Amino acid sequence: MTATLLDPSTVGAYLASRGDLAHLIDPSTVTVREVGDGNLNLVFIATDAQNRSLVIKQSLPYVRMVGESWPLSQDRILAEARGYDAATRFSPDSIPEYHGLDEPRRLIVLEDLSGWTVWRTALNEGRVSPGAAAVVGRHVARVGFGTSVFALDSAAHKAAVAASVNPELCRITEDLVFTEPYRDAENNAWDEQLTDAVLALRSDAMLAEVAELKLAFTTRAEALVHGDLHTGSIFVPGGDTRDAAKVFDAEFSFYGPVGFDLGALFGNVLLARARATVLDRPDEFVDWLDGLVAEAWQAFEMEFRALWPTRADDSYTDRFLDAWLRRTWSDAVGFGGVKAIRRIVGLAKVSDIQTLDTDDRVRAAGLVLETAQTWVKERSALGTAEDLLERTLGILGRR
Ligand code: SR1
Ligand code: MG
């Protein structure tokens, strides 16, 4: 059954029914804007006469970017709530403050971060956000460790895996990230100048590598991952604020490989770097971009190693951790590759590339496809962030 949908005219009455939020907002004086510009949901910002505000996010019974012809269960808000519950527990400073789930209405209430900027927008504008990648890397380590079998006992881990299945949203990722870009599919579209590069993605060698990554995504239930941690799911602060970022939009969360979230970030850094290349952005910005993968990874690794002594089961030894980190790095590089490719070939393209004029767009997209394919195929050999950067700059060009 569809939960009754809010609209700007009904949000005030809804908030008035939520006595538990009365200390945060005065419903009798709110003005409301619908600001959802993502692919899936309704998002309202309610602001009262004292300028206090809240975000209300409600899942629609269909995919917003496509319309009612693509039905999608409103239950995805339950996955998002699980993501926020875990992040509130293990990494509260790197998410918007979470004010809870209204299960019957299929909505959640969050802190309003209107003063912040979606990271993709800031990157498109050429803005440096010092330390943001490290915050995201630490966030992935904290939630990844806290929800994993390393921190939970075996039964608790199994219960969490069972409670967090998210088949509908995972299926979207399986189709759009791991399947459709590598075959003919209705959702695919690209500039004709890219056809040779797109068809080259369908080589036997590439298909086998993508299948490995898909198998890891579908079967390796290591920890509760965000599931869609691209730069459009991260806010960065304005002004001179350093070392801050807020992760949001966790509706794709499920138990999967920890490297998947890092890979989403890496792949989207690549998209931003390709844009910066064709726009000939200043060295200061490009050099900073070139350090982001290492910054995120080092923060992730350092935090994971710091949490390791608190693990629940010491049959996972220190030597095992070294091997697990190596595998997680190479997973992240491979996932980064497929996450970048899908934004060039398949459904749900990104403004980093789409807002470029035609010549720049084709050039940037071609650079992404070549680099990302290398990441997927050579991920085992590209063992460190330095190796990856060296290989990437060999394609994108040095400054
Ligand atoms: C049909 S949903 C398309 C995309 O939007 C989300 O942000 C995910 O990235 C998904 O793949
Ligand atoms: Mg999203």
Q: pLDDT by residue (tens digit) across 312-366?
A: 999 999 999 999 999 999 999 999 999 999 999 999 999 999 999 999 999 999 9
Asked whether residue 38 carries a pLDDT value surpassing 90, the answer given is no
pLDDT, position 239: 86
Contact 389, 294 (CB under 8 A): yes
CA gap 237, 260 in Å, rounded: 25
pTM: 0.98
Contact 132, 234 (CB under 8 A): yes
Beta bridge partners of 108: 57, 101
pLDDT digits (tens, 9 = 90+) for 221-252: 999 999 999 999 999 998 889 999 999 999 99
pLDDT, position 90: 98
Quote the Cα angle for 133-138-144, to 5°. 125
Contact 248, 233 (CB under 8 A): yes
Task: Write the residue with the smallest CA distance to atom 2 of ligand 1.
Answer: 39
CA gap 341, 355 in Å, rounded: 17
Indicate the fold that domain 117-396 takes in CATH: Aminoglycoside 3'-phosphotransferase; Chain: A, domain 2 (3.90.1200)
pLDDT digits (tens, 9 = 90+) for 277-317: 999 999 999 999 999 999 999 999 999 999 999 999 999 99
pLDDT, position 238: 87
Please tell me the distance between residue 233's alpha carbon and the centre of ligand 2 in angstroms. Answer: 6
pLDDT, position 37: 83
Contact 294, 329 (CB under 8 A): no
Q: What is the DSSP string of 383-396?
A: -SHHHHHHHHHHHH
Polymer length in residues for the chain: 399
Indicate the fold that domain 11-111 takes in CATH: Phosphorylase Kinase; domain 1 (3.30.200)
Please tell me the distance between residue 270's alpha carbon and the centre of ligand 1 in angstroms. Answer: 18
Query: In the predicted model, what is the mean pLDDT of residues 160-168?
Result: 98
Asked whether residue 259 carries a pLDDT value surpassing 80, the answer given is yes
Beta bridge partners of 33: 45
Residue 318 in tokens: 């220190």
Task: Write the residue with the smallest CA distance to atom 1 of ligand 1.
Answer: 63
Identify the sign of the CA torsion 24, 29, 35, 40.
Answer: positive
Query: In the predicted model, what is the mean pLDDT of residues 245-266?
Result: 98
Identify the sign of the CA torsion 284, 332, 170, 99.
Answer: negative
pLDDT, position 29: 98
Is ligand 1 within 6 A of the CB of residue 338?
A: no
Is ligand 1 within 6 A of the CB of residue 172?
A: yes
pLDDT, position 12: 98
Asked whether residue 39 carries a pLDDT value surpassing 90, the answer given is no
pLDDT digits (tens, 9 = 90+) for 174-218: 999 999 999 999 999 999 999 999 999 999 999 999 999 999 999
Question: Of 284, 223, 82, which is closest to residue 163 (Cα–Cα)?
Answer: 82
How would residue 263 be classed by pLDDT, with cut points 50, 70 and 90?
Answer: very high
Residue 7 in tokens: 């609209």
Nearest ligand (C-alpha, residue 65): 1
For residues 298, 222, 88 and 20, what is the CA-based torsion angle, rounded to 10 degrees? 160
Asked whether residue 74 carries a pLDDT value surpassing 90, the answer given is yes
Q: Can you say how many angstroms the Cα of residue 183 is from the centroid of all Cα atoms in its chain?
A: 24
Identify the sign of the CA torsion 319, 298, 237, 251.
Answer: negative
Pocket test for ligand 1, best of 168, 228, 352 (most atoms within 8 A of CB): 228
Please tell me the distance between residue 248's alpha carbon and the centre of ligand 1 in angstroms. Answer: 14
pLDDT, position 51: 98
Please tell me the distance between residue 41's alpha carbon and the centre of ligand 1 in angstroms. Answer: 11
How would residue 398 be classed by pLDDT, with cut points 50, 70 and 90?
Answer: confident
Asked whether residue 139 carries a pLDDT value surpassing 80, the answer given is yes
Domain 11-111 matches domain 117-396 at the CATH topology level: no
CA gap 286, 124 in Å, rounded: 12
Asked whether residue 399 carries a pLDDT value surpassing 80, the answer given is no
Asked whether residue 115 carries a pLDDT value surpassing 80, the answer given is yes
Task: Write the residue with the smallest CA distance to atom 8 of ligand 1.
Answer: 228
- Mean pLDDT rounded to a whole number for the chain: 97
Query: In the predicted model, what is the mean pLDDT of residues 16-39?
Result: 96
CA gap 78, 166 in Å, rounded: 9
CA gap 259, 329 in Å, rounded: 7
Provide the residue ranges of all domains of the chain, joining segments of one domain with +. Answer: 11-111, 117-396
Please tell me the distance between residue 60's alpha carbon and the centre of ligand 2 in angstroms. Answer: 13
Pairing outcome for strands 53-59 and 107-111: antiparallel
